[in-house]
């Protein structure tokens, strides 16, 4: 089965991991610091603080900027639940902003959602396509809000040749197995803000600072959310290959764009000329006439070897959110969920695989195209 996204682990990755396993430090050694430096030099951000997952990184980011009970956070429902979960655990409330047909937050609808309780804007670079971050930053600046960018999909994405990682107050990346690069599980917060960076280091490691000799002092509340040395060694090895991974996913994406152009039954995500996308996903947006057939289309694609997936059920549709915050319904986010399918596009695929995916997808779509849904 060709997967919508998957890892590529090669011999040099394995050697880096094995060397670390044979070394003296499995945790709290130099590998984590090396990986953090590599993340800074790759993205251009001043500070990188790694965590054992992006979920932990989000928890850290929201905590160190003092998001708390009574705060409102403007965010997108088209994301993985962790984006919102980690500020909800702090007592803050999600204020859902609708998305555009590319899956990204609609920057033109943010401002009207701001209230005196708004604390931060949390956009997500869907599939790796950068959000309109300059516009979002301008709104945030005008209203004195923070911008925390969940860039879990977008390591390696850029705008005007500047990498995602230092546009927002804090930027979160995920190194989960299927994300643009992997440490098996892992995440990081990148920031140019020294105060946040210091607080994040304390937060991930018990709030303890080392003093002279054996002495240490716990100065703030903290957890153990550290990345292991083994994971960091894998991360450094993977990061060297990120551009190669992206080039491959980009080549496949361009091939799909070409095969799918002028097709009337669906849309694809357009990457703007001044942007690079990590191409974490290749999303297809089915036309409304195909929405009622999506389950059949999904099943047939899977049966024919395409490991497709749907990104995402709007977060507000989950039982927990309905029970806690009541029913929410945004037209484009709802429609996006009814229409979206992510087809296989990953760095392990050959161009023959890509051709098989495009041929099969078009074949299945044509088969269903005559059975239009009625409204």
Ligand X SMILES: *Cc1c(COP(=O)(O)O)cnc(C)c1O
Q: Which residues bind ligand X (CB under 6 A)?
A: 53-55, 79-80, 82-83, 124, 150, 152-153, 174, 176, 187
Q: Which is nearer to ligand X, 54 or 284 (CB)?
A: 54
Q: Which is nearer to ligand X, 54 or 64 (CB)?
A: 54
User: Least distance (Å) from ligand X to the CB of residue 190?
Assistant: 14
Angle 113-114-119 from CA coordinates, rounded to 5°: 125
In the complex, minimum distance from the CB of residue 364 to ligand X, in angstroms, rounded to a whole number: 26
Q: Residue 82 in contact with residue 62, Cβ under 8 Å?
A: no
**Closest distance of CB 351 from ligand X, Å:** 27
Minimum distance, C-beta of residue 299 to ligand X, in the bound complex (Å): 24
Q: Within 13 A of 327's CA, how many CA atoms are on the CB side?
A: 2
CB of 152 to ligand X, least distance (A): 3
Nearer to ligand X, 202 or 227 (CB): 227
* DSSP secondary structure letters along 81-94: THHHHHHHTTT-EE
Q: Which is nearer to ligand X, 53 or 237 (CB)?
A: 53
In terms of CB distance, is 79 or 268 closer to ligand X?
A: 79
CA dihedral 66, 72, 73, 75 (to 10 degrees): 170
The CA-based dihedral angle spanning residues 246, 313, 227, 128, taken in that order and rounded to the nearest 10 degrees: 20
The candidate with the shortest Cα–Cα distance to 103, out of 76, 138, 135, is: 76
Q: Which residue, 124 or 354, is less far from ligand X as judged by CB? A: 124
Instruction: Give backbone dihedrals phi and psi of 364, rounded to 5 degrees, phi first.
Output: -65, -45
Q: Positive or negative, the Cα torsion across 131, 151, 287, 262? A: positive
Q: State in angstroms the smallest separation of the CB of 277 from ligand X.
A: 14
Separation between Cα atoms, residue 339 and residue 315, nearest integer Å: 16
Identify which of residues 89 and 350 has a Cβ nearer to ligand X in the complex: 89
Which position has the token pair 């977060």? 315
Taking the complex as a whole, the smallest distance from the CB of residue 329 to ligand X amounts, in Å, to 21
């Amino acid at each position: 089965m060709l997967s919508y996204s998957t890892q590529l682990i090669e011999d040099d990755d394995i050697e880096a991991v094995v060397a670390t396993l044979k070394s003296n430090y499995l945790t709290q050694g130099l590998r984590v610091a090396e990986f953090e430096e590599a993340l800074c030099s790759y993205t251009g951000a001043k500070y990188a603080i790694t965590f054992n997952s992006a979920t932990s990184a989000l928890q850290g980011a929201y905590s160190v900027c003092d998001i708390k009970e009574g705060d409102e956070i403007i965010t997108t429902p088209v994301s993985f639940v962790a984006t919102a979960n980690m500020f909800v655990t702090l007592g803050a409330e999600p204020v859902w902003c609708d998305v555009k047909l590319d899956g990204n937050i609609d920057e033109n609808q943010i401002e009207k959602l701001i209230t005196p309780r708004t604390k931060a804007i949390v956009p997500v670079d869907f599939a790796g396509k950068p959000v309109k971050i300059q516009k979002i930053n301008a709104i945030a600046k005008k209203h004195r809000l923070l911008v925390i960018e969940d860039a879990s999909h977008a390591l390696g994405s850029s705008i005007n040749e500047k990498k995602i990682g230092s546009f927002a107050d804090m930027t979160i990346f995920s190194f989960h197995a299927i994300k643009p690069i992997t440490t098996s599980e892992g995440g990081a917060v990148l920031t140019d803000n020294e105060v946040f960076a210091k607080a994040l280091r304390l937060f991930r490691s018990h709030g303890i600072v080392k003093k002279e000799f054996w002495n240490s002092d716990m100065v703030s509340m903290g957890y153990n959310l550290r990345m292991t040395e083994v994971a960091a060694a894998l991360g450094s090895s993977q990061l060297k290959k990120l551009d190669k991974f992206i080039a491959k996913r980009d080549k496949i994406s361009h091939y799909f764009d070409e095969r799918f152009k002028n097709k009337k039954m669906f849309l694809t995500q357009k990457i703007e000329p001044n942007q690079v996308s990590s191409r974490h996903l290749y999303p297809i947006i089915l036309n409304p006439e195909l929405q009622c057939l999506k389950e059949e289309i999904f099943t047939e694609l899977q049966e024919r070897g395409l490991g497709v997936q749907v990104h995402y059920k709007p977060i507000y549709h989950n039982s927990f959110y309905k029970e806690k915050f009541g029913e929410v319904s945004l037209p484009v986010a709802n429609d996006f969920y009814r229409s979206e399918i992510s087809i296989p596009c990953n760095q392990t695929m050959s161009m023959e695989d890509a051709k098989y995916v495009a041929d099969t997808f078009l074949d299945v779509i044509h088969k269903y195209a005559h059975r239009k849904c009625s409204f």
